[in-house]
Amino acid sequence: MTVPDNTGHDNPYDLLSADDDDHRWAFGTGFTDPLAGVDTTVPDGVDAAALARHCLMLGDDALIYSHRLQQWITRLPELEEETAVANIALDLLGQARMLLARAAAADPSADFPAGTGEDRLAFFRAEAEFRNVRLAERADEDFAELAGRLLIFSAWRLALFERLRDTADPVLAAIAAKGVPELAYHRDYAARWVIRLGDGTELSHQRMQRALDVLWPLVDELFDDDLPVSDVRGEVEAVLDGVFEHAGVGRPSSAPLGAVSGLRGRDGVHTEAMGYVLAELQSVARAYPDATW
Amino acid sequence: MTGDWPLWEVFLRSKRGLNHVHVGSLHAADAEMALHHARDLYTRRNEGVSIWVVRSADITASSPDEKDSFFAPSGDKVYRHPTFYPIPDDVPHM
Amino acid sequence: MTSVEDHFEATIARNQRIEPRDWMPDGYRATVLRQIAQHAHSEIIGMQPEGNWITRAPSLRRKAILLAKVQDEAGHGLYLYSAAETLGADRADLTAKLISGRQKYSSIFNYPTLSYADVGVIGWLVDGAAICNQVPLCRSSYGPYARAMIRICKEESFHQRQGYELLLTMMKGTPAQRKMVQDATNRFWWPSLMMFGPPDNASPNTGQSMAWGVKRHTNDELRQRFVDMTVPQAEKLGVTVPDQELRWNEERGHYDFGAVDWDDFAAVIKGNGPCNAERIERRRRAHEEGAWVREAATAYAAKAAARTRAAA
C-alpha cells in the first residue's frame, strides 16, 4: 500500500479505503429506531400484550446486565479483557434495544409516540415496572463473580433464544436468531474463565467456588414459568455441570433467594441494588426530560 | 514475572484475502485465549475469517516482509461507519 | 559510516520504512519507543474520561456509540503496545513505567468530564486534535508504528464525527443543552491546543525527530492547522471559541489566536492537573487487583500443557 506523499496535511478520510461491501444489518440501521424498516405488525393469533411483556422481560435482562458489565470498563485485569467485555456489553445492549423497541411497538396500551419506544422504556419507567430477573442487577464483587454470573446468564439466555427462533412473532424470532451466535460466544468466554479460575491457583479456585456459592440463590428464579418456552432447566444445568467438572468446582446447594410476598424480579420486585442501577442509568435523561439526544 | 502472559503474533486472512497477513500481536496465557483475544481485537468489524496465532518466541525471522491490509467495515455494528453520522455537507474538514 | 548506518540513513532519505530487525541508532530506537509507548498509554488512560459517561448516556443509541468508542480506544492501545514490543519493550514493563509516572500520556486526559456534552466536545476537539497529529504519523519512518497508525486513523474518523454529530443535535435542542455544549467547549478549548505540545522554540527534540522521520510537522504547525480547521466547525455549531484574540488574518491566510497558558500546561505535565492522580490510580488498581486473575490463567495454561504432554 502506498501512502500519499504530499507535504500538506492529509484529509484523514482520503487515506481510508472506500471499500464497501455494505453488509446491511437485517434490521435497519438503528439510527433512531433499531427496528426501522421492519414491519412491526403483530401477526394474527399472537397475543400482543403477552408478546410485549415477554420482550420487556428479555430486554430488561439484557439492558440491566449490560449496565453491570459497562461498570467494569477500565477496571478489568488485562487490556485484552477490556475489548472482550465491551464486546459482550455491546451485544447485550443491542439485544436490549431491539427487544424494548419490539415491546413498545407490540404493546396495545403503549401511549408514547412511535420511534421513541426504547428510550421511553429504558429511561422513564419506575423501578417496579422493570421486569428483569434479579441475577441481572447484581454487582460483581470480583472477576470470579463476573465469570460465574456471565456463565449462568448466557447459558440460560442461549437456551431461551434457541427456542425463541421458532416463536410465532417473526420479529422476536429474528432477534433470537441474531442473538444465538452472540450468546454462544458469551457463554464460551465465561466458561473458559470459570475453568481457568477454578483450575488455576489455589486462590483463584477458592474465589471461583465462593463466587458460585453467592450466585446460586439467584438461579432458581431463571426457571420460573414466565416465558413461552419449554423448560430449559435440565439443559442449562447440564451445561453448567459440564463446566464445573472441568473447573474442579462443585455445584452449590444454596437455597433460592427469598421472594417478597411471593414476588420477585419478573414482577417488578427487585433487590436493593436495582434502585442505584436506575439512578445512574436514568439520571441524565431524566434531568433533561424534553431533550433529544 | 508470574502472571505475565506471553506475546503472540496474529495473522488474519480476510474474506477476500488469499493468504494470512500479520496484523499485530497481543498477550494471552494460552493458544485458546490468544484466538479469542485476536477475534475481539482484530475482527471487531467482521474483518477476518481465518485467524492464526503463534507464540512470538516460536517465530524465526530473517528480514520481515509484513504486509498492510485494509478491512471492510462491519455492516452489523452500524455505529462504526463514518457515513452513519449525518453531518451537513458544508461543515469543513469533516 | 558502516553499511548498516548507510542503509538506515538511505532508508530515511527515501521516505521508506525502518522495520524491527533493521539496524537503528540507539537514539532513534529510544525516541520511537518513547513516542509509541506514550501514545499507547494515552489511548488506555483516555478510556477513563469518556468511560465515565457510558452508564449515564441519555439514550441507548448514544450509549452504544460511546461504548464502541471506548472499546476502540482499548484496541488502539493494544495495537500500539504491540508496535512498541517490536522494539524489544515488554508490555508489563511499560505498564509499570506508566503507573510510576516515568512515562507520560497526553495531558488532555487529566481534565474531568463533567457533563454529557463533554463526550461530544472530546470527540470534536480532542479527537480532532489527535487526527491532526496522527495522520502524518501514518508516514512515520518506523514501519510497525506507521501501520498501527493507519489502522487507528481509519477507526478514529468515526469518533470525531460521532462527537460532532452529538453536539449538532444538542445545539439544535433545548437552551440547557446549548449551555452545556458552550460550557464544555470553554473548558476543553485551551487544553486541546496544549495537546500539540510546547511551542517550537521550547521543543529541543523536534529537529532530530523530524530528521529521523519520526515527526513530520512541528508543534506550532499542527496547532495552527488545528485552529484553522476547527474554527469554521465551531461557527457551524453556533458555539463561541473562548479566545478574545481569535481572528482571521487575511495576510497570513490563517487564524491568529491568543496565547496558551504554558504555566498551566507545565503544572498538568508535572502531575498537578485536576485528574492526574485518579487516572493513574484507576490503572494501577485494575492492574494490581487483577494480578490473581492473570496468575490463574498462567497456572491453568501450564497445567493444561502438562496434561497434554502426559497424554502424548
DSSP codes joined into one string, C250-311: TTTTEEE-----HHHHHHIIIIISSSHHHHHHHHHHHHHHTHHHHHHHHHHHHHHHHHHHHH
As to burial, measured by CB atoms within 10 angstroms (0-12 exposed, 13-18 middle, 19+ buried), residue A183 is buried
CA dihedral C284, C290, C294, C295 (to 10 degrees): 100
Q: Three cell numbers at A154?
A: 448466557
Q: Three cell numbers at A256?
A: 433460592
Q: How many CB pairs under 8 A join B and C?
A: 103
Q: pLDDT tens string for chain C (312 positions)? A: 568 888 889 999 998 999 888 888 999 999 999 999 999 999 999 999 999 999 999 999 999 999 999 999 999 999 999 999 999 899 999 999 999 999 999 999 999 999 999 999 999 999 999 999 888 888 888 999 998 998 898 778 788 999 999 999 999 999 999 999 999 999 999 999 999 999 999 888 888 888 888 788 899 999 999 999 999 999 999 999 999 999 999 999 999 999 999 999 999 988 899 999 999 999 999 999 999 999 999 999 999 999 989 888
Chain C contact set for B33 (CB, 8 A):
297, 301
Are B91 and C161 an interchain contact pair (Cβ–Cβ within 8 Å)? no
> Vertex C279, ends C271 and B42: CA angle to 5°?
125
The helix (run of H) or strand (run of E) holding residue B48 is: strand B48-55
Question: What pTM, to 2 d.p., does this model score?
Answer: 0.89
Are A21 and B36 an interchain contact pair (Cβ–Cβ within 8 Å)? no
Residues 269-298 of C with CB under 8 A from B: 291, 294-295, 297-298
> Vertex A289, ends C119 and A40: CA angle to 5°?
90
C300 touching chain B per CB within 8 A = yes
The CATH number of domain A48-287, selected from 3.40.50.10490, 1.20.1260.10, 3.30.200.20, 3.40.50.300: 1.20.1260.10
A199 touching chain C per CB within 8 A = yes
Instruction: Using the CB atoms, write b or e for C129-149: b if 16+ within 10 Å.
Output: bbbbbbbbbbbbbbbbbbbbb
Q: Which chains touch A (3 or more CB pairs under 8 A)?
A: B, C
Residue C118 phi, psi (nearest 5) = -60, -35
Are A77 and C291 an interchain contact pair (Cβ–Cβ within 8 Å)? yes
d(CA A262, CA C242): 59
Cβ contact B73:B66 at 8 Å: no
Question: Which single residue is written with the C-alpha cell 500500539?
Answer: C80
Q: Three cell numbers at C27?
A: 537514539
Query: Closest chain C residue to B70 measured between Cα atoms?
Result: C151
Three-state SS for B46? coil
Query: Closest chain B residue to A95 measured between Cα atoms?
Result: B77
Best C293, C294, C298 residue to mutate vs chain A (most A CBs within 10 Å): C293
Interface ipTM > 0.90: yes
Best C298, C307, C309 residue to mutate vs chain B (most B CBs within 10 Å): C298
Taking CB atoms within 8 Å and a gap of at least 24, the contacts of A224-230 are A224/A264, A224/A266, A226/A54, A226/A57, A226/A266, A227/A54, A227/A57, A227/A58, A227/A160, A228/A50, A228/A54, A228/A167, A229/A160, A229/A163, A229/A164, A230/A163
Residue A169 phi, psi (nearest 5) = -80, 120
